[in-house]
A and B are shown apart, each in its own frame.
Chain A
Amino acid sequence: MTPLRDVWRSIVRRDPLSTDKGKSELVFLNLWLHIHPAKVKRENFKLKHTWYLGFITFYLFLILVTTGVALMFYYRPDAPQSYQDMKDLQFVVYLGSFLRNMHRWSAHGMVICVFLHMCRVFYTGSYKAPRQFNWVIGVFLFLLTLGLSFTGYLLPWDQLAFWAITVGSNIGGYAPLVGPRLKELLLGGHAVGESALLRFYVLHVAVLPSTMILLTMVHFWRVRKDGGLSRPVWKLKPAAAGPLVRIGAPAPAEAALVVVPASQDKTYGLMEVVTGKPIFETVTAEEEEDTVFSYPYAFFREAIALMATVTSVMAISLFWQAPLEELANPAKTPNPAKAPWYFLGLQELVSHSALLGGVVVPALAVLGLLAIPYLDTNPSRRPADRKWAIRAFTLFVVVNVVLIIIGTLFRGPGWALVPPWVHVSGAE
């Protein structure tokens, strides 16, 4: 028994989890967990504060990586072989369609969740100092998610894929000066073809996911460094009166940079005092410190969120098949030909004005999103103090959603306005 115990001890070096030290060591002696603080604020994990949207987005990404790697075992980026591989997944590979369904639905889910996550961060004002740059990284992660979904869209090499990418890449081609060159770079030709398939595949399985992983790491790291999950600070009650420890005040005359309540069970060891402001979140009203150990409080909640995400995707995948249309045929354009749904807002705009939908709006949207934390210098996160910011963003979200709904459901053959409940005969 002893040697076995030695092996175990060599792997798990923490104290028993029944002790506070063990609970702390579980976090900071473990590579995978040490992004967490040893103790978290109970407030942060309230469902209503974040809806766990960031977590869910990340879990969907994990599902996508896992199922994606599995699918790679049966997929060749080679037209028209790719289409045959799809048919094989459907008809002969054990659980092939189930895994493909999971991959497909998670991809759609991730686009939705990453967008909802962004909305949540906006409405809670969580992009404000010191989190400005993490918002910027978040916007890039959103664009990467769209890029991953878009590149993956082509891979089945069916009519749906082929024409969605044809339309989608042509929207990009409207950009002045760089548009045509960009399109050529992306497609490896002037139209969607075999070289486009190979490029999209490499982007989809190597370039974009690795960038995504790197940026996600930075994103998480900064969440931690910028003061942890953001809380609705305006709701916090002032701390009960008690002795406060003032840290980092160079002179007594200056306001304390960090003021923490001196609590009984917490010790602060200051190695050295350096001057300068700390970067992490400072709270004007000293909040009530209601912290708990991450184990099990935070981990359990994260695990539940993970399991809920996985089971939901599995349930959807068991009952709804991912679409697979006819083999891609460049000579036969479906009517209407639609871009992937998340670009249909843009396609809708392009149908009115190519310049507006293809260039001005997407450029302004991305630049605008990136600039939000720097334009909105109002320091307050209290909703009552930022009515105009909230109105403007809500308008952006509503216009987006409405345009996408119109493009997805209300556009029939010839891009004519047709309600989804009216069947158009002769549409092929």
Chain B
Amino acid sequence: MPQFFFALSLIALVLMLGAVWQAAAPSWKKYQQEYHRLESLGEPNAAAKAAVLNTALDIRQELLPGLQRVDRCTTCHLGVEDPTMKNAPQPFTFHPNLAPHVVAKFGCTVCHGGQGLATDKVNAHGKVPFWPEPLLPKEYIRASCGRCHKEGDVPGVPELTEGRRLFEATGCRGCHKLNGVGGSIGKDLTEEGAVRRYPEWLERHFLDPNAVSPNSPMPNFHFTKEQARALTFYMLSLTNEQMGTYYSSVRLIPSAGYGRQLFTEKNCIACHSIGGVGAKAGPDLLGVAKAHSAGWLDEQLVNPQMLYPGSTMPAYDLETNARKALITFMAAATQEDAQTILSGRPKPLTAEEAAIEGGKQSFARFGCVGCHGLNLQGGVPNPNSQGGEVPSLLHASDDYTKDEVIKIIRNGKQPPLQDTSKPAPPLYMPSWKAVLNDEDINRIADYLWSLQSKKSGW
């Protein structure tokens, strides 16, 4: 009996010591000691060396309430903001070109991914079960720019701009919801970048959806490698995290590229000219940035009436960074720029053409192209529907009257089954009356009819 008591007491002691020992030697301490050793090499005298070597070891963390995170990466990545550590090995290497995204304001994980709260390598890099945001591979890190810079183009990340353009142009919204707008056949993509940060998977998925998720109803759009990469970038940037005002207020980068986009969108060329190219209703803008200070131009954009009472220029409701972007663009704008903008401008349309054009826009924007194709060719596989694929719309007038087509768009349609004993095909025509108004639907029908080619001529 007493032996039993002794044995249990001893086990209790050993277990307690085991727990204490396990807790006493976390891996980050070794990294900090190694870093201080590296640091001490650069110190001139023994006293300074000793002082560096004796620096207290502690967990470092950046509190980032505006990004709803706490990043402890700098506990091991100690040289991130120390240029003398440029050639130091990881995890101590200096991070070049960090400004203005300083660690104290941005932390690390908002761009790089990983688990900021963790204090050991495996968990921190996030390649563990139950952490949805593992460290992003190097070539995809730039996608994270889009998490804050949600509009305009981001210098150095053309993939993001291209991805956003492709997303709208390909009609992805027809099946996928994004920020509450879009179809419901596919997955809601609002949080795609937060719940599935596996870029390789995404990229392969865009190249061939069936290769990574068999039986996916998503058609193969035959994207090029670059396009798949661009869409992957865009997906990775999609989160619905609530960023603090500090981060959301700088989401636009006042680049010349964005300025040009605004200049085109707002149709400045309708009144102004650059070096004589353009309209003459307003002053010529060549060299306007030399003639006036940036502050003056900014005020002019905010309220043209202020500097020139009675000016016919309307006050555009532009954000600070949008105004900056316009000014940046104007400073460098040339006659050629004006030419390209002018030539890209749509010619005035007749009422009929406008309706067809509107229909075409709606057809692309609301995602009809997702199934029926950009050129109405159809052909997306749809197992167990008659013909096995989504029908082409080029011959719709053979089988339907325009009114019937309008009815189908309004109320939707289940495709007839090939084999009634098998499950219904995955794709079907949804009812659009909750999304589109009658005018939109009529315009889409106009657009379809404008492209009909009769099987048999007269």
Q: Answer yes or no: A and B touching, Cβ < 8 Å.
A: yes
- Residue positions of A touching B, CB distance < 8 A: 84, 87-88, 91-92, 94-95, 98, 158-159, 300, 303-304, 307-308, 310-311, 314-315, 317-318, 324-326, 329, 331-332
CB-based nearest B residue for A102: B19
**Cβ contacts under 8 Å, B9 to chain A:** 307
Q: Are B12 and A304 in contact (CB under 8 A)?
A: no
Contact A304 B117, CB 8 Å, known A95-B20, A318-B19, A318-B22: no
Q: Does B23 contact A (CB under 8 A)?
A: yes
CA distance A92 to B116 in the complex (A): 12
Contact A311 B130, CB 8 Å, known A95-B20, A300-B1, A304-B5: no
**Cβ contacts under 8 Å, A159 to chain B:** 130
Contact A318 B117, CB 8 Å, known A307-B12, A326-B130: no
Q: Are A318 and B20 in contact (CB under 8 A)?
A: no
CA distance A92 to B18 in the complex (A): 18
8 shortest interchain CB distances as A-B pairs:
A87-B117, A314-B15, A307-B8, A325-B130, A91-B119, A326-B130, A311-B11, A98-B19
Query: B19: shortest Cβ distance to chain A, in Å?
Result: 5
Q: Are B123 and A158 in contact (CB under 8 A)?
A: no
8 additional A-B pairs beyond A159-B130, A317-B19, beta carbons within 8 Å, are: A87-B117, A91-B117, A91-B119, A95-B20, A318-B22, A325-B129, A325-B130, A326-B132
The proximity string for B residues 110-141 relative to A, scoring 1 for CB distances below 8 Å and 0 otherwise, is 00000101111001000001111000000000
**Cβ contacts under 8 Å, B129 to chain A:** 325
Contact A91 B123, CB 8 Å, known A84-B117, A304-B5: yes
**Cβ contacts under 8 Å, A317 to chain B:** 19
CB-based nearest B residue for A323: B130
Contact A92 B59, CB 8 Å, known A307-B8, A332-B195: yes
CB-based nearest A residue for B69: A84
Q: Does B157 contact A (CB under 8 A)?
A: no
CA distance A88 to B59 in the complex (A): 12
**Cβ contacts under 8 Å, B115 to chain A:** 87
Q: Does B458 contact A (CB under 8 A)?
A: no
Q: Are B117 and A314 in contact (CB under 8 A)?
A: no
- Residue positions of B touching A, CB distance < 8 A: 1, 4-5, 8-9, 11-12, 15-16, 18-20, 22-23, 59, 70, 72, 115, 117-120, 123, 129-132, 191, 195
CB-based nearest A residue for B132: A326
Query: A337: shortest Cβ distance to chain B, in Å?
Result: 15
CA distance A159 to B120 in the complex (A): 23
Q: Are B19 and A95 in contact (CB under 8 A)?
A: yes
A-B contact pairs, 23 of them (CB 8 A): A87-B117, A87-B118, A88-B117, A91-B120, A92-B117, A92-B119, A98-B23, A158-B130, A300-B5, A304-B4, A304-B5, A307-B5, A307-B8, A308-B8, A310-B12, A314-B15, A314-B16, A314-B19, A318-B19, A324-B130, A326-B130, A326-B132, A332-B195
Partner of B22, one of A88, A92, A98, A332: A98
CA distance A236 to B137 in the complex (A): 74
CA distance A325 to B132 in the complex (A): 10
Query: B60: shortest Cβ distance to chain A, in Å?
Result: 11
CA distance A91 to B11 in the complex (A): 26
Query: B198: shortest Cβ distance to chain A, in Å?
Result: 12
**Cβ contacts under 8 Å, A311 to chain B:** 8, 11-12, 15
Q: Interface of chain A, helix or strand or loop or mixed?
A: helix
**Cβ contacts under 8 Å, A329 to chain B:** 195
Contact A94 B130, CB 8 Å, known A84-B70, A84-B117: no
Contact A91 B118, CB 8 Å, known A308-B8, A311-B12, A315-B15: yes
CA distance A84 to B63 in the complex (A): 13
CA distance A324 to B195 in the complex (A): 17
Q: Are B12 and A94 in contact (CB under 8 A)?
A: no
**Cβ contacts under 8 Å, A91 to chain B:** 72, 117-120, 123
Query: A301: shortest Cβ distance to chain B, in Å?
Result: 9
Q: Are A326 and B22 in contact (CB under 8 A)?
A: no
Q: Are B8 and A304 in contact (CB under 8 A)?
A: yes
Q: Are B23 and A94 in contact (CB under 8 A)?
A: yes
**Cβ contacts under 8 Å, B11 to chain A:** 311, 315
**Cβ contacts under 8 Å, A304 to chain B:** 4-5, 8
CA distance A307 to B15 in the complex (A): 12
**Cβ contacts under 8 Å, B59 to chain A:** 92
CB-based nearest A residue for B70: A84
CA distance A315 to B10 in the complex (A): 13
CB-based nearest B residue for A91: B119
Query: A398: shortest Cβ distance to chain B, in Å?
Result: 34
Contact A326 B118, CB 8 Å, known A95-B19, A318-B22: no
**Cβ contacts under 8 Å, A332 to chain B:** 195
Contact A95 B23, CB 8 Å, known A326-B130, A326-B131: yes
CB-based nearest B residue for A317: B19
Query: A60: shortest Cβ distance to chain B, in Å?
Result: 16
Query: B31: shortest Cβ distance to chain A, in Å?
Result: 15
CA distance A111 to B12 in the complex (A): 24
CA distance A283 to B59 in the complex (A): 66
**Cβ contacts under 8 Å, B123 to chain A:** 91
Query: A63: shortest Cβ distance to chain B, in Å?
Result: 13
Query: B222: shortest Cβ distance to chain A, in Å?
Result: 25
Query: B4: shortest Cβ distance to chain A, in Å?
Result: 6
CA distance A84 to B70 in the complex (A): 9
CA distance A84 to B4 in the complex (A): 42
CA distance A329 to B129 in the complex (A): 16
CB-based nearest A residue for B119: A91
**Cβ contacts under 8 Å, B12 to chain A:** 307, 310-311, 314
CA distance A87 to B130 in the complex (A): 12
CA distance A332 to B59 in the complex (A): 33
**Cβ contacts under 8 Å, A310 to chain B:** 12
CB-based nearest A residue for B123: A91
Query: A296: shortest Cβ distance to chain B, in Å?
Result: 10
**Cβ contacts under 8 Å, B131 to chain A:** 326
**Cβ contacts under 8 Å, A326 to chain B:** 130-132
CA distance A159 to B18 in the complex (A): 31
Query: B118: shortest Cβ distance to chain A, in Å?
Result: 5
Query: A266: shortest Cβ distance to chain B, in Å?
Result: 26
CB-based nearest B residue for A97: B23
Contact A318 B1, CB 8 Å, known A84-B117, A91-B118: no
Contact A318 B18, CB 8 Å, known A98-B23, A325-B130, A332-B195: yes
CA distance A266 to B316 in the complex (A): 105
**Cβ contacts under 8 Å, B8 to chain A:** 304, 307-308, 311
CB-based nearest A residue for B194: A329
**Residue of B20, B23, B191 with highest tally of chain A CB at under 10 A:** B23
CA distance A303 to B12 in the complex (A): 13
CA distance A91 to B124 in the complex (A): 10
Query: B100: shortest Cβ distance to chain A, in Å?
Result: 27
**Cβ contacts under 8 Å, A84 to chain B:** 70, 117
CA distance A94 to B21 in the complex (A): 11
**Cβ contacts under 8 Å, B15 to chain A:** 311, 314-315, 318
CB-based nearest B residue for A426: B213
CA distance A297 to B9 in the complex (A): 18
CB-based nearest B residue for A80: B68
**Cβ contacts under 8 Å, B1 to chain A:** 300
**Residue of B15, B119, B123 with highest tally of chain A CB at under 10 A:** B15
CA distance A252 to B118 in the complex (A): 80
